[in-house]
Chain A
Amino acid sequence: MEKGEPIIRLEHVDAGYPGAVILHDVSFAVARGEIFILLGGSGCGKSTVMKHMTGLNPILAGRLTVAGREWSVQTRAELCRQIGVMYQSGALFGSMTCLENVRLPLDEFSDLSKAARRARALELLRDVELEDAADKMPSEISGGMRKRVAIARAMALDPSVVFLDEPSAGLDPITSAALDDLILRLRAEKGMTFVVVTHELPSVFKIGDRAAMFDRARHGLVALGAPQALRDTSEDPFVRKFFSRGEYHGQ
């Protein structure tokens, strides 16, 4: 698949849970190699969309394809080789060291020898500048470091797309900016596609190639495009208010 081709496509998707549609008729595509932002206020459904895209929850209506194939016909094993996910808290396993956390997907799914798996996990930790923390437990490292270990784990099986759920949440501005730099570097070095759920505007403008913006009040996608373009040219009152950090209640 060439750079720029859609790797994930949503067509007229209803997002939510059985009996509770949160977003109606959502359509967009994520191109290979881009950093795509799912943007919106708290509770607007951006994490729900991410859960659909990562295969955690089935979509309520519409069509969702990953690498050209319908999401619903792919097995979990197929999906997990195509996507990696970093959750908001990092979601590292507390009973394992950082190295073991990163090595886990390799242990389960790769045919590499034990030594090769360890070497690969160390290489991934080196990519996120945490080789020194390999033998530490998640409780012994900071929140920002946990997120970087989680990114390393998400990349373990060389997925096509890495999802990042609120990477800046709970981090100070310096750590958050360092994480943004890491995402940009990984994209530049490895050509990875990132889908980032966030509402942190500095991050959005720094790393985002395109953004899909959701509005809870209108239950849908209200803007799609480059973040700077949305900020400068959108005439949608919600989009303008959001980028000017104003209050908006869907009135």
Chain B
Amino acid sequence: MRGLVSLFAFLGESACCAVSALVRPREFRFGDAALAFQRAAFDGLPVTIGVGFLLGVILAFQSAAALQTFGVEVYVADLLAIALFRELGPIITAIILAGRTGSAFAAEIGTMKVDEELDALTTMGLPPVRFLVLPRVTAAAFAMPILTVFAEIAGLVGGALVLETMRVPPAAYWQHVTASSDAPMILFGLAKGLGFGLLVGLIGCAAGMQTRATADGVGHAATSAVVGSIVAIAVADGLLAVLCNIWGA
């Protein structure tokens, strides 16, 4: 119960700091946000592209095996495009972000808490949420759509390579990809990615802020950041799926 109260207090303070930074942009620490963005987005690109590519390869192999029976393996392209743009692209990227960046946020802030750096900030009149959380959450939110685009493209390329081994011409493959995807679908996936990035950033920072000053405190914070983020992503995606179904989107 106490954890829930402090979580809501943290979310409230984060929201207030975000509004305050929008009103007075000078308060926002652009340098820290840029550094966090570089670590979250650019440093995370290789693993995101690698996992996205393998996901495309695996999905293509598994679905092609079934569709080959009917001689329509070219429809693997449609399946991949819809799955990657709507669901798997944002989800797999968010899980990678949670493992890389969310845990790093929790460990960084947790170590700072153990070293009394958060107390130092507070006594200097600098709210830790404004100083540490806001730049990181912003970085995670804006890194997600970029990483998602790369994961999706890598997945589609992986699928194309698999289908080429099954003698599906690349032109036909890409024609099916473009035919089965449209701008609203792609934008919806990217917006979802932005939301997941916010979740990962907030949960990672919250775990760091709640770190206990014990031997395993920082490790525990990093673990709960990853687990909490993955659960939150799954729940948020499930809710979105239900809402989309209700609205017929």
Binding site for B on A (CB under 8 A): 51, 54-56, 76-77, 79-81, 83-85, 87-89, 91-93, 95, 104-105, 108-109, 150, 153, 165
Does B71 touch A at the CB level, under 8 Å? no
Q: Bound complex: CA of A89 vs CA of B35, how far in Å?
A: 25
Contact check, A91 vs B119: say whether CB atoms are below 8 A apart. Answer: yes
Q: Bound complex: CA of A108 vs CA of B126, how far in Å?
A: 8
List 15 interface pairs A-B (beta carbons < 8 Å), by A numbering. Answer: A55-B123, A56-B119, A56-B123, A79-B125, A80-B124, A83-B123, A84-B123, A85-B120, A88-B116, A91-B117, A93-B117, A105-B125, A108-B125, A109-B125, A165-B116
Could you tell me how many residues of chain B have their Cβ less than 8 Å away from some Cβ of chain A? Answer: 12
Q: Bound complex: CA of A88 vs CA of B120, how far in Å?
A: 11
Q: Bound complex: CA of A89 vs CA of B126, how far in Å?
A: 19
Least CB separation from B132: chain A residue: A93
Q: Bound complex: CA of A221 vs CA of B123, how far in Å?
A: 25
Instruction: Give the Cβ gap from B212 to chain A, nearest Cβ, in Å.
Output: 14
Least CB separation from A93: chain B residue: B117
Contact partner of A91 (CB less than 8 A), chosen from B35, B120, B125, is: B120
A residues less than 8 Å from B122 (CB atoms): 56, 76
Contact check, B124 vs A108: say whether CB atoms are below 8 A apart. Answer: yes
A residues less than 8 Å from B125 (CB atoms): 76-77, 79-81, 105, 108-109
Contact check, B124 vs A104: say whether CB atoms are below 8 A apart. Answer: yes
Q: Bound complex: CA of A153 vs CA of B117, how far in Å?
A: 13
B residues less than 8 Å from A84 (CB atoms): 123
Does B115 touch A at the CB level, under 8 Å? yes
Q: Bound complex: CA of A91 vs CA of B112, how far in Å?
A: 8
Contact check, A91 vs B126: say whether CB atoms are below 8 A apart. Answer: no
Contact check, A54 vs B117: say whether CB atoms are below 8 A apart. Answer: no
Q: Bound complex: CA of A109 vs CA of B26, how far in Å?
A: 12
Instruction: Give the Cβ gap from B140 to chain A, nearest Cβ, in Å.
Output: 17
B residues less than 8 Å from A83 (CB atoms): 123
CB interface residues, B 94-150, toward A, < 8 Å? 112, 115-117, 119-120, 122-126
B residues less than 8 Å from A165 (CB atoms): 116
Instruction: Give the Cβ gap from B16 to chain A, nearest Cβ, in Å.
Output: 14
Top 6 closest A-B pairs, CB basis? A80-B125, A91-B120, A87-B116, A91-B116, A85-B123, A91-B117
Least CB separation from A101: chain B residue: B120
Contact check, A80 vs B123: say whether CB atoms are below 8 A apart. Answer: yes
Least CB separation from A150: chain B residue: B120
B residues less than 8 Å from A88 (CB atoms): 116
B residues less than 8 Å from A87 (CB atoms): 115-116, 119-120
A residues less than 8 Å from B35 (CB atoms): 95
Instruction: Give the Cβ gap from B35 to chain A, nearest Cβ, in Å.
Output: 8
A residues less than 8 Å from B112 (CB atoms): 93
Q: Bound complex: CA of A153 vs CA of B126, how far in Å?
A: 14
B residues less than 8 Å from A51 (CB atoms): 119
Instruction: Give the Cβ gap from A87 to chain B, nearest Cβ, in Å.
Output: 4
Contact partner of A89 (CB less than 8 A), chosen from B116, B123, B124, is: B116
A residues less than 8 Å from B126 (CB atoms): 104, 108
Contact check, A54 vs B124: say whether CB atoms are below 8 A apart. Answer: no
Instruction: Give the Cβ gap from B122 to chain A, nearest Cβ, in Å.
Output: 6
